[in-house]
Amino acid sequence: MDAARAAGELMRRHRRAPKRVHAATQHDLKLELDVRCQRLIERRLRAAFPDWGMLGEEGSVSAAAGPRWVVDPIDGTVNFAYGIPHACVSIALEVPAPEPARRPVVGVVYDPFCEELWTALRGQPARLNGRVVRVSERTRLAEAIVSLGAGKRLRAIRHMVEALAGLVHRVRKLRSMGSAALALAYVASGRFDAYAEIGLHWWDIAAGGLLVECAGGRFEVREHPDAGFELLAHNGRLGPRLKRLLPPVPPQT
């Protein structure tokens, strides 16, 4: 938690400062501050746990088959770069497990702009600023708020457009807010009823997925070798209907 708060404070201090772009594509940005935040997190974690590995958006530290941190130093980088205060730090700890191969046991998502800290420990309730949170109890799709991620690749964008067309008249509202980790935290807190996206990286969703599970929801994820992770997170009540309405993952483009 200290590492997440430290990186979040760095984000907050640079909220209105000019942003140095490290790399840019049509649908994504990488900032110099991404690298600085990850290095800060890495220093804090390795000082306490020097033998553990790390998988991060800005590079990885290898380790044997022991525990591994999974870090997204700024999830929602485009929002942050454009001055939109909807971004967060996401940190998970995973341990080796035969099934599934990835098994997060600790998850932290920190929104420094709203000062909201979500924490999860496998087998215990999810918490927001120390208070227990749970997924929503809504059973009617017509009353649901569903978050759809647009992704970065063409096939992911096409998938989102088809999903939007299939859901827009069946749910109360659709949202696409630009941070996978916060979308998952919002599902865990009952703010969103479900969240779907393809083309994600593991560091985008490891901590938030554990939050959803610890809050009583379902975190359903599948990896496509050429398209990243396909994700559907929901409150455990709306999954079957959403699966019927969401389109299949399109062929590679």
pLDDT digits (tens, 9 = 90+) for 175-231: 999 999 999 999 999 999 999 998 899 999 999 999 999 999 999 998 887 778 999
Q: Which CATH number fits domain 141-245: 2.40.160.10, 3.40.190.80, 3.90.1580.10, 1.10.10.1150?
A: 3.40.190.80
162-174 per-position pLDDT tens digit = 888 889 999 999 9
Distance between CA atoms of residues 158 and 152, nearest Å = 10
**Contact residues for 174 (Cβ-Cβ < 8 A; gap 6+):** 145, 146, 147, 148, 164, 167, 168
230-241 per-position pLDDT tens digit = 999 999 999 999
Q: Does 66 score more than 70 pLDDT?
A: yes
Mean predicted confidence (pLDDT) in 44-67:
81
Q: Does 106 score more than 70 pLDDT?
A: yes
The alpha helices in 124-238, defined as continuous H runs, are 154-167, 180-188, 202-214
* pLDDT for the residue 63: 55
Distance between CA atoms of residues 134 and 224, nearest Å = 30
Residue that is written with structure tokens 């000082």 in the block: 47
Distance between CA atoms of residues 194 and 126, nearest Å = 17
Residue that is written with structure tokens 């700024």 in the block: 74
In the chain, ranges of CATH 3.30.540.10 domains: 2-132
Q: Which CATH number fits domain 2-132: 3.40.50.10470, 3.40.50.1390, 1.10.10.60, 3.30.540.10?
A: 3.30.540.10
Q: Is 10 strand, coil or helix?
A: helix
* pLDDT for the residue 9: 93
* pLDDT for the residue 79: 93
Q: Does 26 score more than 50 pLDDT?
A: no
pTM score: 0.92
Distance between CA atoms of residues 145 and 29, nearest Å = 28
In the chain, ranges of CATH 3.40.190.80 domains: 141-245
